Structure 1
Amino acid sequence: MNKKNYKILKILNNNIILAYDLKNKKETILMGKGLGFNKKENSKEYIPNKNIQRSFIANDERIKNEYFRLVKQIDPKIIEICEKIIQISEQKLGDLNSHIHIILVDHIAFAIERVKTGLEITNPFIDEIKILYPDEFDIAAEGIEMIKKNLDLDLGLGEVGFISMHLHSSRKNIKVKETVKNTRILNEIINIIEEGLNIKLDKTQYSYKRLINHLQSTLSRIKNKKCIKNPLLDNIKKEFKDSYVIIEKIKAKIEKEYELEVPEQELGYMAIHIERLKN
């Protein structure tokens, strides 16, 4: 007879249970087709690994209780799709913060309800998101296709962007509002550049992707106080005076948003990129 490896603590539905791992001595949420069927709470059971499609350790009591609430309220198909998206993400991107199991389910369930009622929310940062988080974007697009195939509902391209930001935030272990803020600020910096140069940048061009990546790296260095020296700074200030007018506006924007001083060295590098756009 097989040795018991789990104690069943709570049956959430036929496919999801909360169990105590007798070997690792940890509470774990297990998912698999029919895992909860014919099981009894507080019983010790042998569950073969081949029957467990997904699992995550329920360390945080608040996360665990919130997940229970969602499982009871939300269509199991939605939970299954979300877990598949998380599984693909962890295979391609590495471990995600365990809170993603709640955040993604909650977000996608709300998005589905919103679309069903005819309320469409646009994503103004979709071009920037696609450039900044390409791996997350591809996975999110795959998730949207799963929803379309299994639920006969198209959440649209904008939702690909929103899911991408959730995956990125979980990957980097930061709050999604920080990811949204960073993306918004990049978008507004682009607007400052376009207004200053009186042009409209072509977001399909490689030059736009290069600019976004440069600005993202610049913001990251500023926030982490790891700026690099610019030996050409004096010459840049003399040669690119017009670009510096735009740079001063960008500097003011960054300092206001992040409450950090922007080093002059970084301003020089930004001026080079803006000058390149002029030409």
Structure 2
Amino acid sequence: MEVINRINNNVVLVKDGKTKMIVTGKGIGFKTYPGDIVNERFVEQRFILQKDDDASQYVKLLKEIPMELLGVSKQIVEMAESELDYKFSLNLVFTLADHFSFSVERYKKNMIIDHPLSWEIKQFYPKEIAVGCKALKMLNDATGLSIPVGESIFIAMHLINSSGGLSDQYDVEELTKVMIKIVNMLEDKFNIVIDQNTTAFTRFITHLRFYLIRQLKFEIEDSIYDELVDVVKEKYPEAYQSAEMITNYIKKKYGSESVDSEKLYLTLHINRLLS
């Protein structure tokens, strides 16, 4: 393995044939220069870069990140992939490590921050929150600290953003605010308070989340017969009107047109929610 760039004493960017990777190990970057050959006995972890990965971005990000945080971040991403059945990009390892570095710094300065949407995120993303709690325990075990449970919310948000396929323009916080707005619209329309601890609500929010992602990415697939839409519209008129209210709101906000199949599934979920 030939050194491309020394990142710090413990992290270097190398190439092995045509493959670029970031390798870590205690002292692996000490007095190391481009063109040097890495002693593989010192390599503790390898992060293989894909062709479209921006190596310079990782070099900049990793200069100040302690090696132990990079290690625990890799373990957390592997755990999250197993728990959520999703393959995350390598970028998540580094962005989480960078976030952990900031979290540890805040903790040592007694700067405790709670996310303003923490309650809603717990309701809307229970699987990711559960993984976030496991990840926080792993982080605390690795650092010997006792970072408060609120940190699990921020970890979950990184996981949601990385698995949702959204651009930077539409992050998890934006998505959560839109879902809160839609729930409030339904409560105002029917003059009710929706019980957010029911299975129907969980299913509605799950469907709503992926509906919004499809609309934001302009992924349109309309495979529902008109006759079926007419039947649902006639059988559940109030729920269908609510679905149209939601799709009109999304069209106004994002300029994304919702096809009949989206309205139909929203209608069915809203009907279950109100039953």
Q: TM-score range, shorter-chain basis?
A: 0.7 to 0.9
**For 2:125, what is the secondary structure of its paired residue?**
helix
For 1:117-155, what per-residue CA distance to the aligned partner results, in whole angstroms no more than 9, with x for missing partners?
A: 244333343135424xx2x44433222112223241324
User: Aligned partners of 1:153 and 1:232: how far apart in 2?
Assistant: 55
Q: Which residue does the alignment assign to 2:271? A: 275
User: Aligned partners of 2:68 and 2:219: how far apart in 1?
Assistant: 41
Alignment of 1:247-258 (within 5 A): 247-258=243-254
Q: Which residue does the alignment assign to 1:3? A: none
Residue type matched to 2:115 in 1?
I
Residue 27 of structure 2 corresponds to residue 27 of structure 1:
no
Deviation at 1:30, TM superposition (A): 0.7
For 1:38-84, what per-residue CA distance to the aligned partner results, in whole angstroms no more than 9, with x for missing partners?
A: 66333224415x943332327568x4334333433234433332232
Decide which of 96, 103, 122 is 2:116's aligned counterpart: 122
Alignment of 1:1-279 (within 5 A): 6-21=1-16, 24-32=17-25, 34=26, 36=28, 40-41=32-33, 42-48=35-41, 51-57=43-49, 63-90=54-81, 93=85, 95-115=87-107, 116-124=110-118, 125-131=120-126, 134=127, 136-149=128-141, 150-157=143-150, 159-171=151-163, 173-180=165-172, 181-219=174-212, 222=215, 223-229=218-224, 231-279=227-275
Residue type matched to 2:268 in 1?
I
- TM-score, normalized by length of structure 1? 0.77
**For 1:44, what is the secondary structure of its paired residue?**
coil
Given that 1:35 and 1:51 are in contact with CA atoms closer than 8 Å, whether structure 2 keeps it comes out as: no
Given that 1:233 and 1:268 are in contact with CA atoms closer than 8 Å, whether structure 2 keeps it comes out as: yes
Given that 2:58 and 2:94 are in contact with CA atoms closer than 8 Å, whether structure 1 keeps it comes out as: yes
User: Aligned partners of 1:151 and 1:176: how far apart in 2?
Assistant: 33
Residue type matched to 1:7 in 2?
E
The answer for unaligned runs of 5 or more in structure 1 is: 1-5
User: Aligned partners of 1:221 and 1:103: how far apart in 2?
Assistant: 25
User: Aligned partners of 1:20 and 1:249: how far apart in 2?
Assistant: 55
**For 2:170, what is the secondary structure of its paired residue?**
helix
Query: Quick one: percent identity of the two aligned structures?
Result: 24
User: Aligned partners of 2:263 and 2:52: how far apart in 1?
Assistant: 43
Given that 2:11 and 2:29 are in contact with CA atoms closer than 8 Å, whether structure 1 keeps it comes out as: no
**For 1:73, what is the secondary structure of its paired residue?**
coil
Given that 2:76 and 2:135 are in contact with CA atoms closer than 8 Å, whether structure 1 keeps it comes out as: yes
Residue type matched to 2:250 in 1?
I
User: Aligned partners of 2:29 and 2:210: how far apart in 1?
Assistant: 50
The answer for unaligned runs of 5 or more in structure 2 is: none
User: 1:154/1:241 Cα in 2 relative to 1: closer, same or farther (>3 Å)?
Assistant: same
For 1:169-222, what per-residue CA distance to the aligned partner results, in whole angstroms no more than 9, with x for missing partners?
A: 334554354342333322322222222222223323211111122323444555
User: Aligned partners of 1:211 and 1:172: how far apart in 2?
Assistant: 17
